[in-house]
Amino acid sequence: MIPYKSQRVAYPYFVVALLLFGLQVLMGLWLAINYAFTLPQSLVDIFPFSTARAFHTNLLVLWMLLGFMGGTYFMVPEESKSELFSTKLAYLQLIILVGTGVTALVGFLFGWTQGKPLLEIPLELDLLIVVGALIFLFNVAATMIKAKNWTMIQGTLLGGLVMLALLYLFGLPFYKNLSIDWYYWWWVIHLWVEGAWELVTGAIIAWILLRITGVPRGVVEKWLYVEIGLFLFTGIAGTGHHYYWIGAPRYWLWVGGIFSALEPVPIILMVWDTFRHVKERQQKIENPLVWLLAAGCAIYHLVGAGVWGFIHTLPQINYYTHGSQVTVSHGHMAFFGAYALLNFTIFYYAFPQLKGITHFRQTLGKWGFWITSLAMFALGLAFGVAGVLQSYLERVLGLGFMTAQAQMQLWFKIAIVSGLVFFVGVVIIIYDLLKMKQSAPERIAAA
């Protein structure tokens, strides 16, 4: 089923990514319990919230990157029309990254941390991650260079991956000045999710749409140029919305405010582009679930990253919502909408081919999509309401932090319930992908 044998390396990447994703969600449930209930001091001393949060966020980064990397290994052979440069390097890289990740998680339990949120991994392990990333980039670039079959989609993908790797380096040093530390911390975090990762997303979604719709390459690539141009135009200077209150100059309020207000524009374009391609499709869509996921990704991307982000990066609002549960709400909706759904799209596109399946029952996949999407929306709303309450009680009325938190308990309990439902959806998706079987085509029509 797969035209190139080396595409198979994607499979273990996807499987590991899926399992880590399950673990991430379990950790998230644990965090929500920490919010809503009082835990005994003895437990807090052994496994505090901070450690659990390090688990939750690092698992997020790891599973998503493994998903992107697997997706890249799946896509590049077909796009460049050649086998991968080296499958051995690809497996070696997977072992390095997963080994480093597991070591980091175990290390957190023993307080081995750099203490920078999302970049907790100690320097020694960071260097291993860099090695893994360099192997990946080398392998991908070498494949493309050897094939000499350059396309715009490959260029975007490679550009995004190089940017991703380079920016990671800014998170490595110890900065003496806290303000400078946060300044460069955002070069990793913001420029990843609103720059490099968007390029990867743009390239992968464009490639999958190209495949499932059969729209001419020239048309797809033209709009990809416009999209990523706008993503980078708004995303790079939009980093400024993190610099409002950190001891940076006042002009960041203007720069951050204006550029981040424009950040939804490329996402709107992406949604429009996705639907236009399907309208102008030149072949029957054989795997409607992939189309559902791609469309869901585009729309949820717009809601979570675009709208939610837009609202609270305006300086006048951010003054009150900065560092509150509103950020948590935005973070969850944006990561799920833009990147978890992107990975689901890749998985459901690639898994059947990797397993040699032409038709599979799509019912469970659809349930998985709707359950996770709606549960995440409920979760986002629960955090959002808690955050608005917090902003009002703490920042407007001037009540103490814990007094405000006490008023938010109901919403944290709703978050636990939403999280449980979300977990059910995740289990369905993991089960469905791993156990996927060939089915007769007519049964799809019935489903």
Partner 1 sequence: MTSKLAKSIFYVGTLSSALLFLVLTWDTHNQVHALTNADRLSDDVVEGKRVFQKYNCNDCHTILGFGGYYAPDLTRVYDRRGENYIRGVVAQPELILANSFRKMPHQNLSAQEIDRLVDFFRWVNDIDTQDWPPQDSKKRRSTESKRLIGGSAMTPGAALFKGQGCIACHSIGGVGGDSGPALDDTGARMSLEQIRQYIYDPASVNPQTNMPGYQEMTPSDLDALADFLARQKGETQ
Q: How many residues bind partner 1 (CB under 8 A)?
A: 81
Is 174 near partner 1 (CB under 8 A)?
yes
State the angle between helix axes of 197-213 and 341-354 in degrees (0 to 180), rounded to the nearest 10. Answer: 50
The smaller minimum CB distance to partner 1, of residues 241 and 361, is found at 241
Piece in contact with partner 1 (CB under 8 A), picked from 4-12, 22-30, 227-235, 285-293? 227-235
Is 235 near partner 1 (CB under 8 A)?
yes
The answer to whether 372 and 432 have CB atoms below 8 angstroms apart is no
Between CA 235 and CA 192 the distance in angstroms is 10
Q: Please report, for residues 34, 236, 305, 434, the alpha-carbon distance to residue 342 in angstroms, rounded to integers and kept in the order given.
A: 29, 22, 13, 18
The smaller minimum CB distance to partner 1, of residues 99 and 400, is found at 400
The burial class, CB within 10 Å (0-12 / 13-18 / 19+), for 442 is exposed
Residues numbered 97 to 156 that lie near partner 1 (CB under 8 A) are: 111, 113-117, 120
The answer to whether 168 and 130 have CB atoms below 8 angstroms apart is yes
Nearest one of 391, 385, 439 to 412, comparing CA atoms: 385
Contacting residue, 13, 63, 168, 243, with partner 1 by CB under 8 A: 243
Is 323 near partner 1 (CB under 8 A)?
yes
Residues numbered 39 to 68 that lie near partner 1 (CB under 8 A) are: 39-41, 44-45, 48-51, 53-54
The answer to whether 7 and 74 have CB atoms below 8 angstroms apart is yes
CB of 139 to partner 1, least distance (A): 26
Between CA 187 and CA 180 the distance in angstroms is 11
Piece in contact with partner 1 (CB under 8 A), picked from 60-68, 75-83, 243-251, 303-311? 243-251
Binding pattern to partner 1, positions 423-442, x when CB under 8 A? --------------------
Contacting residue, 134, 145, 178, 410, with partner 1 by CB under 8 A: 178
Is 245 near partner 1 (CB under 8 A)?
yes
The smaller minimum CB distance to partner 1, of residues 376 and 404, is found at 404
Residues numbered 391 to 420 that lie near partner 1 (CB under 8 A) are: 394-403, 405-406
Between CA 440 and CA 69 the distance in angstroms is 32
CB of 144 to partner 1, least distance (A): 19
Query: The tokens 């289990």 sit on which residue?
Result: 427
- Is residue 440 classed as helix, strand or coil in its secondary structure? coil
Contacting residue, 30, 192, 252, 336, with partner 1 by CB under 8 A: 252
CB of 320 to partner 1, least distance (A): 6
The smaller minimum CB distance to partner 1, of residues 248 and 307, is found at 248
CB of 329 to partner 1, least distance (A): 10
Q: Please report, for residues 78, 80, 84, 132, 335, the alpha-carbon distance to residue 146 in angstroms, rounded to integers and kept in the order given.
A: 14, 9, 9, 21, 34
